[in-house]
């Protein structure tokens, strides 16, 4: 089946190259962009298929030589045949991964919102813990983060914190973090040693470009106010904080972490654009619900995705039934095993659904 699939794709690739070589194609921008994306996606597949077809030919030749009357030739062919089959199995897996359609948000930076839910101050403390885990993980990859807005509790936690992450693979590694994160542990304030359960929500938004979302000036109400909370000497002295309301949707975003009103406005607009883009994407995804079922989780913020059980040193991701027993390391930023397992399960589900 894979062989036939690759033959079809080689034929399609040649057709795309032919169309892209037409002198009039640049005047048809939409078609040009679509063809260019397809060409870019197929190029590594086609390159790998050349090696794959050569390997299949070698396997056929070795299969014939396995029946040779020459004993030495036969033994050599059998050994080489076994090696070639192992190589083919490995290449099968590599090509199938290449055939998974690219995520439309791949390569985008992200905006992450972490908010305290049930659990009072303990939930706020866990917001701070998860924020630290995410940013330490990001730093290990050399990614940049910047806080857009925060509402500290004063005891080391946050009612909410909003920040950006910039890097080549931030969407790929953080897209599965959206949902409800539940924590079970004994709070520092708990004298009796009783385990408390609290929850926080995480939203992960792909950063949108201006071309992705059109925002009309007349659709915005912009209010200024004085920043509050633990934010330095400028707090409560200048009207630098910004609140933007998008009137058609009722979406409200705020930013108060910068001294400059202009900078706060630019950051708030970035968040608003991302939220409107997310709405647009979710509407589209609902239309293709069958594809959504092939993915790990639904991306719904109300879905309980993970439990952090401190007494048992266990973190369980409920979407894939996978647990790790290194909670201290994870909370210090070592999220790699959890995230890579989610990516692998998602790819496996997509391969199965696409019947590749």
Q: What residue segments make up the domains of the chain, in order of their start?
A: 2-98, 110-211+294-354, 217-285
Q: How many CB atoms lie within 10 A of CB 68?
A: 14
Asked if 208 and 329 touch (Cβ cutoff 8 Å), the reply is no
Q: What are phi and psi of 145, to 5 degrees?
A: -130, 155
CA-CA-CA-CA dihedral for 213, 214, 215, 217, to nearest 10: 160
Cα separation, 118 vs 154, whole angstroms = 18
Domain 110-211+294-354, CATH class in plain words: alpha beta
Please name which of 216, 209, 218 lies closest in space to residue 277, comparing C-alpha atoms. 209
The separation between CA 296 and the C-alpha centre of its own chain, rounded to angstroms, equals 11
Q: In the chain, what's the furthest Cα-to-Cα distance?
A: 94
- DSSP state for residue 238 in the 8-state scheme: S
Residue 292 pLDDT: 44
**37 CB-near residues (< 8 Å, 6+ apart):** none
Cα separation, 96 vs 286, whole angstroms = 26
Can you say whether the dihedral through the CA atoms of 156, 161, 165, 170 is positive or negative? Answer: positive
**Domain 217-285 belongs to what topology?**
Double Stranded RNA Binding Domain (3.30.160)
Cα separation, 231 vs 251, whole angstroms = 25
Asked if 268 and 245 touch (Cβ cutoff 8 Å), the reply is no
- Residue 241: strand pairing partners: 225
Q: What are phi and psi of 181, to 5 degrees?
A: -110, 125
- Residue 322: strand pairing partners: 317
Residue 35 pLDDT: 92
pLDDT tens-place values along the chain, 356 residues long: 788 989 999 999 999 999 999 988 888 888 888 899 889 889 999 999 999 999 999 999 999 898 888 888 888 999 999 999 999 999 998 998 888 887 878 888 999 999 999 988 999 999 999 999 999 999 999 999 999 889 998 888 999 999 999 998 899 999 999 999 999 999 876 767 789 999 999 999 888 876 678 888 899 999 888 766 544 444 445 577 899 999 999 999 988 866 788 888 888 888 898 888 888 777 755 654 444 444 455 445 567 999 999 999 999 999 999 999 999 999 999 999 999 999 999 988 888 765 65
Query: Could you give the residue ranges of the DSSP H alpha helices within 66-169?
Result: 71-98, 120-140
Task: HSE, CB side, 13 Å, CA atoms: give it for residue 246.
Answer: 21
Residue 69 pLDDT: 85
Q: What are phi and psi of 307, to 5 degrees?
A: -120, 135
Q: What is the token pair recorded at 49?
A: 């298929």
């Amino acid at each position: 089946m894979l062989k036939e699939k690759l033959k079809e794709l080689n034929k399609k690739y040649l057709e795309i190259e032919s169309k892209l070589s037409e002198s009039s194609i640049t005047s048809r921008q939409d078609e040009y962009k679509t063809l260019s994306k397809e060409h870019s996606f197929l190029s590594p597949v086609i390159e790998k298929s050349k090696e794959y077809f050569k390997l299949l030919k070698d396997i056929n030749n070795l299969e014939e030589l396995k029946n040779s009357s020459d004993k030495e030739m036969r033994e050599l062919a059998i050994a080489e045949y076994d090696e070639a089959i192992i190589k083919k199995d490995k290449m099968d897996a590599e090509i199938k991964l290449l055939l998974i359609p690219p995520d439309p948000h791949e390569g985008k930076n992200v905006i992450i919102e972490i908010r305290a839910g049930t659990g009072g101050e303990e939930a706020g403390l866990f917001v701070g813990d998860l924020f630290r885990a995410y940013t330490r993980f990001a730093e290990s990859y050399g990614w940049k983060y910047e806080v857009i807005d925060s509402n500290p509790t004063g005891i080391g936690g946050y009612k909410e914190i909003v920040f950006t992450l910039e890097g080549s693979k931030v969407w790929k590694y953080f897209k599965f973090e959206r949902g409800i994160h539940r924590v079970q542990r004994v709070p520092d304030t708990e004298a009796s040693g009783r385990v408390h359960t609290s929850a926080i929500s995480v939203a992960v938004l792909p950063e949108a470009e201006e071309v992705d979302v059109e925002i009309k000036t007349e659709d915005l109400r912009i209010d200024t106010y004085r920043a509050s909370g633990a934010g330095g000497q400028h707090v409560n002295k200048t009207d630098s904080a910004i609140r933007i309301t998008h009137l058609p949707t009722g979406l409200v975003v705020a930013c108060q972490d910068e001294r400059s009103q202009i900078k706060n406005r630019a950051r708030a607009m970035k968040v608003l654009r991302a939220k409107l883009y997310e709405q647009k994407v979710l509407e589209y995804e609902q239309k293709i619900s069958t594809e959504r079922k092939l993915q790990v989780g639904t991306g719904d913020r109300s879905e309980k995705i993970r439990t952090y059980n401190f007494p048992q040193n266990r973190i369980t991701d409920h979407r894939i039934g996978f647990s790790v027993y290194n909670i201290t390391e994870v909370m210090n930023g070592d999220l790699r095993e959890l995230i890579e397992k989610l990516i692998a399960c998602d790819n496996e589900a997509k391969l199965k659904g696409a019947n590749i």
